[in-house]
C-alpha cells in the first residue's frame, strides 16, 4: 500500500461503526427466524459475507477476519476467548452478541492494518 494512505491508520479502528454494521447484518439475516438445522449453514455464510461486504465499503486500508458462531438455546455452556499479537495503535476488534428466543449468535470482527 502507498505511503500516503497510512494517515488513516492513525485514527485506529472504529469499533462503533463496525458494531453497527454487524448488528444490522445479523438482524437482517436472523431477525424473526427460529433455529433450523437446515438453514444454519446458509445463515452463517450470509452473515459473514454481508458483514465483510459492508466493511469493505468503508474503504479503509484494513484486512478483515470475521467469525460467527450460532448456537441453539439450551442448557449448554459455551466460552470463547481470543488473543492477538498486533499493532494496538492501528488494529482493533469488535464483538457483537445477538440473541432471540431459540438461538444465540456471536460475531467477532478483527481488523488489521495493511
Partner 1 sequence: MENTYQLGPTKHFPVVTVNSILKDVLTNYLQEEEYSPELCRQMTKTISEVIKAQVKELMIPRYKLVVTVHIGQCDGQSILIGSRCLWNPKSDTVSSYVFRNSSLFALANVYAIYFE
d(CA 112, CA 93): 9
The neighbour count for residue 48, using CB atoms within 10 Å, is 19
Query: Among 25, 26, 30, 68, which residue interacts with partner 1 (rule: CB under 8 A)?
Result: 68
Mark residues 26-65: x for contact with partner 1 by CB under 8 A, - for none.
---------x-x--xx--xx--xx--x--xx------xxx
For position 72 contacting partner 1 by CB under 8 A, the verdict is: yes
- How many whole angstroms from its chain centre is CA 31? 16
Give the integer Cα–Cα distance in Å for 54 and 48: 10
Phi-psi domain of 32 (left: phi exceeds 0; alpha: psi -120 through 50; beta: other) = left
Candidates 14-22, 23-31, 75-83: pick the segment binding partner 1 (CB under 8 A).
75-83
Which residues form the interface with partner 1 (CB under 8 A)? Answer: 1, 3, 35, 37, 40-41, 44-45, 48-49, 52, 55-56, 63-72, 74-87, 91, 108, 110, 112, 114
Amino acid at each position: 500500500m502507498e505511503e500516503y494512505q497510512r494517515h488513516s491508520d492513525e485514527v485506529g479502528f472504529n469499533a462503533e461503526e463496525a458494531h453497527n454494521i454487524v448488528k444490522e447484518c445479523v438482524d437482517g439475516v436472523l431477525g424473526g427466524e427460529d433455529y433450523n438445522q437446515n438453514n444454519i449453514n446458509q445463515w452463517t455464510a450470509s452473515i459473514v459475507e454481508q458483514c465483510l461486504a459492508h466493511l469493505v465499503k468503508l474503504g479503509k486500508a484494513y484486512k478483515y477476519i470475521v467469525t460467527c458462531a450460532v448456537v441453539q438455546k439450551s442448557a449448554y455452556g459455551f466460552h470463547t476467548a481470543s488473543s492477538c499479537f498486533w499493532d494496538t495503535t492501528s488494529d482493533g476488534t469488535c464483538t457483537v452478541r445477538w440473541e432471540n428466543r431459540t438461538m444465540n449468535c456471536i460475531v467477532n470482527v478483527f481488523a488489521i492494518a495493511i
